[in-house]
Each structure stands twice: as C-alpha cells, then as structure tokens.
Structure 1
Amino acid sequence: MLAVTAYPILQAVYESLFAFRLTAPGDREFVGLGNYAVVLSDQVFWRDLLVTTLIMLVTVAVELVLGFALALVMHRAVRQLRGLLRTAILVPYGIITVVSAFAWFYAFDINSGFINQWFGWVPGIDPSLNWFAGTSTSLFVIIASEIWKTTPFISLLLLAGLAQVPGDLEEAAKVDGATGWQVLKRVIIPNMKAAIMVAVLFRALDAFRIFDNVFIMTNGAYNTEVLSLLAYKTSITRLEIGLGSAISVLLFLCVMIICFVAIKLFKVDLAGARGES
C-alpha cells in the first residue's frame, strides 16, 4: 500500500509545490501554494468540478435504485436460476471500461451508430441527431454508459447486504400484516444500511474519478470535461507537471471529503454491523 498509494500521493503533493514543465525538468521554481491559487482561480476548474459532481450524483442515484432492484431479483430467484441471473447481470461489469466506452460511442455516433434508426420513434430522436455535438446529449450518453457498466457492481454489494437481513424478521412483519413496502422500508433497508453505505461510497469515489468514458466519447468537448481529464491534459498534453499535480491533489482532497460526508451521513457503526464488540 505504501509503494502504490502513499508514495504517489506524497510525490504529487511535492511536485505541486513547484512550477516546471516536463520538457525542462531542471528548470523548476518553488512556488509553494501558487499552483493551487492558479487552479482555484480558474473558472475551468470549477466548471469541471461541477460536471464531475453532476455525473457522480446522477449515476450513483440511478445505480442505487437499479442495483437494489437487481439485487432483489437475484435474492428472490429460485435456486436453479440464481447462477444464470448473476452471470447475465455481471456481463457489463466484466467488460473493460475502454471497450465499453468505444461500444457506446459507436452506437450513438451519427455516422456508424444504430441508436438514431432504432429509436427514431422517440420524440426528439431522428437520423440527423448528433449526440456528441452538445453538452446535454453528450452527458446523457456518458452517464448512461457509466450506469450500464457499473450497476452490476452495486447490485452485488447490495445482494451481500440482503443476505444479512434476518429472514425471521421479514416473516414476523408479514404475520403482523405489514405490506411489501412496509417490510422493505422498516425491516430490509434498516438492516442493510452498512451495505448501502459501502455501495454508495465505493461508487461515488469511482464515479468522481471518471475518465475513460469522457476521454473516448468527447475528450472534454462541449463542457463535458471532468477533473481527471483536466489533470491529464494539464500534465500529459501541456506538460505542466506542477499545475497537473495540484489538480490531482485537489481531486484527492475532494475524494476524501466525499468519504467523510458519506460516513457521517449514513452514521453506520461498521464494527457493530460486522458483529464485533
């Protein structure tokens, strides 16, 4: 963990304190927090932060609902069909993200795609619609591809949580006349709160660091750039290592803030959820 996590983070923090380009590594100047001041005063950073946050909130919210529904299906399915259902549901998650992004890009592309022809009956969709020529349509495809790819991951985590719900509590609630919705709200969800928190936290962190889909589909055009792509362009394309490192450190701090907020919001005692004293 120290080799693959701590060292790169500390190295990025160190590099962010200097102003230098990769083409002239010996010509570096110590600027302290100057790079952070430049980044935080740039409207591009705040725009990308807004786009990143929007993608994270929408994808996690939709995936939580769909993932819970899939988890219930897998949990309630007869034993003979459970293996088949889990395999089918996991297929999107097993596909490499880059391959998935390319598949979605070519499906919605105005020249090679089939979406416009298949869904031409939907209002607003016609053969001339260019999905990647505007902010809203581009973000729609990016978010849809992310939901399709990673919903199985949340469903697996929630399925593990469902397995921890005591069956006798559900039976007792039904005997007392509780409806299916009441059982779900007052028995199932409270008893799998820890699993829900883990699923939301993992996916929120992953969605906030989204890169592949945006890079392949739009490369940040039409105001679809995210923080990971901004850090990549600054460091790799423009070779501004100091500024790129500062963006990466700020991205890391945002991730830590998300962790803190999620844990405080759910107020889950993980030790108690594991049965520890």
Structure 2
Amino acid sequence: MADTEVRPEVRRPGGTARVRFRPPGGSPRNSDRRLGYVLVAPAVLVLLALTAYPLGYNLWNSVHHVDLTDPSDRGFVGMKNYTTLLTSGEFLTALTRTLVYTVVSVAIQMVMGMVLALVLHKRFRGRGWVRAAVLVPWAVPTVVAATVWKTMFDPRTGFVDYGLRTLHLPGAGTTWLAGEWTSWLAILIADAWKTVPFVAIILLAGLQVIPTEIYEAARVDGASAWQSFFRLTLPMLKPALLVALVFRTLSSLLIFDVIFIMTGGGPGDTTETLAYLDWKAFLVNTDFGMGGAISVTLVVLALGVAAIYTRVLGPDRQGS
C-alpha cells in the first residue's frame, strides 16, 4: 500500500462513501501511455536519424535551382519548382496514372489477400506447409520477381503465351509489354503475385486473435456466414486491415522497381509513375531541384493518405 494513495469520494445524499486507490502520478491509462512513448522512442530516434537528412536535403533542393549541367547557378527560387511541377502536363499525367494504379491494385490485393487469409485460417492437412509456401513470392526480391515476370510475358518464349495457346484462350500471341493497357495489366499481375501473400499474412494474424465463441453465438442466433463475415469479422479486423492498407497503398504510390524492370516506363511514357518521374528528374535530367520537388510532393501525398486511413479506420478515441 506504500505505492498508492487513498482518495475518498465525496458522499452523495442517500449514498455511501467509497474509497478508491490510485497510483501516484495519475491514472493507470496515462502511465501506460507514457511507458509506450518511452518504449518506442529509440525506434523513432533511429528512423529520424536515417530519414531526416534525405528529407531535409530534398526539401532544400526543391526550393533551389540545382542542375548538375549548370553547377554555377544554385540560387534560391522559392516555390518556382513546385509551380512548374503542378502546371506540367507530364507531372499531372503521371499523378493520374499513379493514383488510378494505386486504387485498382490495392483493391485487388486486399480482396485476394482476404480470400487467401480466410483459406489459410481453415483447418486442413498440410496447412503449415501451405502457409510457408505462400510466403515464397513475398520473400523473392522485387527485381528478381519483375525480371521473371518480364520473361514470362514474352510472346515467343514466355509461359503466359504458351498457357493461353494451350488452353485456347484469348490473348495468345499478344506482345504484352508493347501496349499501354497490356503493360499495366502485366505490371499489376507481377505486383499482386509478390504482395498478396504479404496482405494475407497480416490479415491471417488478425483472424487468429478473433475469439471463436462469437461465431458460435452468431450461429445460435441464426446468422449466416455472410452476416458473420460483414458484422463480426470485418469490424474486428480493422487494425489488421489498417496496417495492410497503409503498407500497400504507400508501396503502390511509390512503385518504381517493377516498372523500371518490366517496361522502363514504356511504351513511350505510358507507364511512368511519380516515382519513375522522380528518378528521371534526378538521374536522367540531373535536375535535383525538380527531383526534390517531386520527392516532397510524394512524401506529402503519402502522409496524407496514411492520415486519412488512420482517421477512418483507426481505433475509436472516444473516452481516451
């Protein structure tokens, strides 16, 4: 009792006095919150040390004229780079492509990841081996996976064309990476093959902490499988869904390596995204000022999306 203090409540008319014990320094909830801040502080400091300089360097570049072909002029230009960027048709087109691809790819990957997680959550013989095998695509380096898929989509030697011909399906003989829409379809398939297992594992972890008793009670009350899924499973999966959505959305917004390996931004510039445009500004055009402006824009866009997800799907803070 030495670590607690007694705080008697005021007696109400007609009531009885109650004695309440509280730890010194505030409520247990505030103490837990402070302990949480202390525990995550080292990780936050390490992340800041690794990201503060690149972010600061890009921010500095974005408000200066930094062109390696003209090293003598590195003057302050203020918001000129951003103004030029936001009025550029190339940037707006790349932004539209990036946003559309993000919405489509994340929607497909979340649905497929949910289906795969539900299958892996069921009990069947060899489930452990299947779960391990599902992780293989995610463990393959992205450059390797993209190179393999580029070979598979080759119309002469690729497996995709061979399979379509064997099954007499439409699309055989298509030069997949020579057309705009077929290139995007190939990129989408290659990206989904690698990342759907990641989504499935996250959602599977969320499924495993849901008590089975609530489903038994729902069945007793006459709830169907669909009603149990939409009214029990999805609401209780919100934390796992939030993690998967944030990770996959940010990854899709910043997609570069798959496009660089499979299409090189082509045919023409039809598969160039914001990240690819940023690479061109830095390493092709050597315009670090414009590259910095694109990088800062990407960071702001990513932070905005993460904030919206957290606001919509985050835990209810009422009463905290």
**Per the shorter chain, which TM-score range?**
over 0.9
1:24 deviates by 4.2
Per-residue deviation, residues 133-191 of structure 1 (Å, max 9, x unmatched):
11100000001111110001111110111112121111100111211111111111111
1:43 corresponds to 2:92: no
Letter in 1 for 2:276: L
Query: 2 CA distance for matches of 1:253 and 1:56?
Result: 16
1:107–1:114 contact (8 Å) kept in structure 2: yes
Q: How many residues align?
A: 270
Query: 2 CA distance for matches of 1:171 and 1:77?
Result: 16
Query: 2 CA distance for matches of 1:254 and 1:109?
Result: 35
1:114 deviates by 2.7
Gap regions ≥5 residues in structure 1: none
1:92 corresponds to 2:137: yes
Query: 2 CA distance for matches of 1:90 and 1:190?
Result: 26
Letter in 1 for 2:274: L
Query: 1 CA distance for matches of 2:231 and 2:62?
Result: 49
1:20 deviates by 2.1
1:8 corresponds to 2:54: yes
Partner of 2:193: 148
* TM-score of the superposed pair, with normalisation by structure 1: 0.92
1:23 deviates by 4.2
Equivalent residue for 1:233, pick from 242, 267, 280 = 280
Per-residue deviation, residues 44-92 of structure 1 (Å, max 9, x unmatched):
11111111112211111111111111111111124x5232011111111
2:191–2:258 contact (8 Å) kept in structure 1: yes
2:137–2:194 contact (8 Å) kept in structure 1: yes
Query: How has the CA–CA distance of structure 1 residues 95 and 16 changed in structure 2, closer, same or farther, with 3 Å as cutoff?
Result: same
Partner of 1:52: 98
User: Which of the two has higher C-alpha Rg?
Assistant: 2
1:95 deviates by 0.4
Range with bigger deviation, 237-246 or 15-24: 15-24
2:153–2:160 contact (8 Å) kept in structure 1: yes
Query: 2 CA distance for matches of 1:147 and 1:268?
Result: 28
Partner of 2:297: 250
Query: 1 CA distance for matches of 2:68 and 2:127?
Result: 53
1:22 deviates by 2.3
Query: 2 CA distance for matches of 1:25 and 1:265?
Result: 46
Query: 2 CA distance for matches of 1:20 and 1:193?
Result: 44
SS in 1 for 2:118: helix
SS in 2 for 1:19: coil
1:22–1:239 contact (8 Å) kept in structure 2: yes
1:71 corresponds to 2:71: no
2:239–2:314 contact (8 Å) kept in structure 1: no
Higher helix share: 1
Query: 1 CA distance for matches of 2:156 and 2:73?
Result: 47
Partner of 1:177: 222
1:157–1:199 contact (8 Å) kept in structure 2: yes
* Relative contact order, higher structure (CA 8 A, sep 6+): 1
1:226 deviates by 0.5
1:204 corresponds to 2:244: no
SS in 1 for 2:126: helix
Query: 2 CA distance for matches of 1:25 and 1:130?
Result: 43
2:265–2:272 contact (8 Å) kept in structure 1: yes
Gap regions ≥5 residues in structure 2: 1-46
Query: 2 CA distance for matches of 1:136 and 1:70?
Result: 27
Aligned sequence identity (%): 39
* TM-score of the superposed pair, with normalisation by structure 2: 0.80
2:256–2:275 contact (8 Å) kept in structure 1: yes
Per-residue deviation, residues 236-273 of structure 1 (Å, max 9, x unmatched):
1110011111111111111011112212232433x89x
1:190 corresponds to 2:235: yes
SS in 1 for 2:226: helix
